[in-house]
Amino acid sequence: MESPENIKEFRDYVRGFIDREVSPNSERWTREGSVSRELHAAAGRAGLLGLKYPVKWGGLDRPYAFTYAMLEEFGRSASMGCLLSLVLQSEFSTPHLAIYGGETLQRRFLAPAIAGSAIVAIAMTEPEGGSDLANLRTTAARTTGGYRVSGRKWMIGNASLADAFCVVCRAADQIDGQLPRVTMLLVEASTPGFSVVRRHEKTGLHATPNCEILFDDCFVPNEYVLGRPGSAIPQGLLANAYERVALAILATAAMRAGWESAVRYLSSRAAGERALLERAPWRHRLTQDYIVIQSAERLVKDAASSLEGGGKPDHALVLMAKIAATEACQEVLRHASQAHGARGFLAEERIGRLCADARALTIGGGATEALIDGLSRIVLARVPHS
């Protein structure tokens, strides 16, 4: 079946994909700690990995509204822990290839990633400094014909599945304390010296594997540089906007799903002769949460609109949307879980899975505290100081 060009029909199409390809396998993948590569292949055949990308590379060249709709359906699903593996491909790693890869890398890696026959991961986070690019320890040393990459990355999504990694490295000859010169390189998993050290055991998102990986003097040819050498930090502002908006969309969808579940559950549970939903404390709390959801959704939609057409995103708006939506999601889902009583604590219940999986949304794409610091530098500079 071809991907529909009507948004409403497309949402049904995405739900059908989840029902057909994900739901029957979700429990098994969760137990095993990883989705299978077949999920990516199925998503590629369904056109879900290249909605916004050019037809030239196998994409569908659809408006961003289709990506938005897909991410909302993913976020509402009880299988978000599986579906995040696809989001890491379509919204985290491939934007770097699409924007900065150049024709050779796009032909060799972007087109197969869109088709689902190859998996590309992004390797930024490190054990010592998280995703703080100013304190990177992984280095890229210039050598004849390319670079020698050495270092360790940590909590890398899809690492055990990936065929290649977009790796951020600092210049090996850089002196500590200098403004970092950071380069992004594409490193194939088959490169001598590369290894997956271990898979992390997590409290949520169990079916999307996160691993520690090691680069031991890996040779990377010059043509595998993404963008300009030493320019990965400013370049990342554009590509990272896609991942941050994606996480914000997942958050708004998850909290609305949890909120709706709480409303339905409380309307069916009685305390005496009245449904719990008729009692003022719950009515007021759920109404306040509804205001929070509506506000977050509007902010996220505004941020998403700045991505339309591949233009320059509004970075302040993107940061605000990611911070507001993912933080609000934690509070709304906590209330929704409380409304379900003991059921809210069960992994077998949808609300339990939503709470466990959504917890990471405030961390991925940059932790809230780091993003607030970055946002402060933008918004405070807009006010005249004299």
Residue 18, pLDDT > 70, answer yes
- Reported in sequence order, the residue ranges of 255-297 that DSSP labels E, i.e. its strands, are 270-271, 274-275
Nearest CA-CA partner of 227 in 214, 215, 217, 237 = 237
- pLDDT tens-digit map of 24-49: 999 999 999 999 999 999 999 999 99
Cα 199 to Cα 34: distance, rounded to the nearest angstrom: 10
Nearest to 290 by CA among 359, 353, 336: 336
Q: If pLDDT is split at 50, 70 and 90, which confidence band does 257 have?
A: very high
- The predicted structure's pLDDT at residue 238: 87
- State the helix-helix crossing angle for 80-87 and 64-76, rounded to 10 degrees: 150
Predicted confidence band at 386 (pLDDT cuts at 50, 70, 90)? low
For residue 278, what is the DSSP state? G
Distance between CA 153 and CA 126 in Å, rounded? 5
Q: What pLDDT is stored for residue 175 in this prediction?
A: 59
Confidence of residue 272 (pLDDT cuts 50, 70, 90): low
The residues that bridge with 148 in the sheet, in sequence order, are 141, 219
From residue 151, how far is each of 90, 185, 194 by CA, in Å? 26, 13, 10
Q: Does residue 246 surpass a pLDDT of 90?
A: yes
Asked whether the domain spanning 122-230 has the same topology as the one spanning 7-118, the reply is no
Give yes or no for a contact between 194 and 213, defined as CB atoms under 8 angstroms apart. yes
Average pLDDT, the chain: 93
d(CA 267, CA 244): 35
Q: What confidence category does residue 179 fall into, taking pLDDT thresholds of 50, 70 and 90?
A: low
pLDDT digits (tens, 9 = 90+) for 74-125: 999 999 999 999 999 999 999 999 999 999 999 999 999 999 999 999 999 9
Distance from the first to the final alpha carbon of the chain: 61
Q: 212 with 138: CB under 8 angstroms?
A: no
Look at residue 233 in the predicted model and tell me its pLDDT: 84
Query: Which tens digits make up the pLDDT trace of 322-375?
Result: 999 999 999 999 999 999 999 999 989 999 999 999 999 999 999 999 999 999
What pLDDT shows up at residue 1? 52
Percent of the chain with pLDDT over 90: 83
pLDDT of 253 > 70? The answer is yes
Beta-strand runs (E) in the chain = 120-123, 139-143, 146-157, 164-171, 182-188, 194-199, 210-221, 225-226, 270-271, 274-275
How does 167-191 read in b/e, with b if 16+ C-beta sit within 10 Å? bbbbbbeeeeeeebbbbbbbbbbeb
pLDDT at 161: 98
Distance from C-alpha of 276 to C-alpha of 265, rounded to nearest angstrom = 9
pLDDT class for 236, splitting at 50, 70, 90? confident
Give the residue extent of every domain in the chain. Answer: 7-118, 122-230, 233-380
User: Out of 51-65, 201-215, 271-285, which region has the weakest mean confidence (pLDDT)?
Assistant: 271-285
Fold of the domain built from segment(s) 233-380: Butyryl-CoA Dehydrogenase, subunit A; domain 3 (1.20.140)
- Residue 275: pLDDT band (50, 70, 90) is confident
- Total number of residues shown for the chain: 386
Query: pLDDT category, 178, cuts 50, 70, 90?
Result: low
pTM, two decimals, is 0.95
Q: Is 177's pLDDT higher than 60?
A: no
Q: What is the pLDDT of residue 74?
A: 98
Strands 139-143 and 146-157: antiparallel
pLDDT value at position 180? 72
* Cβ atoms of 54 and 61 closer than 8 Å: yes
Q: Report the topology of domain 122-230.
A: Butyryl-CoA Dehydrogenase, subunit A; domain 2 (2.40.110)
Measured CA to CA in angstroms, residue 5 lies from 12, 18, 49, 83, 309 at distances of 12, 18, 16, 22, 17
The torsion angles phi and psi of 12, rounded to 5 degrees, stand at: -60, -40
Q: What span, in angstroms and rounded, lies between the C-alpha atoms of 39 and 20?
A: 11
Contact 222, 47 (CB under 8 A): no
User: Which CATH superfamily hosts domain 7-118?
Assistant: Acyl-CoA dehydrogenase/oxidase, N-terminal domain (1.10.540.10)
Contact 116/44 with Cβ under 8 angstroms? yes
Give residue-wise pLDDT tens across range 126-172. Answer: 998 766 677 789 999 999 999 999 999 999 999 999 999 999 999 98
The reported pLDDT for the residue numbered 331 is: 98
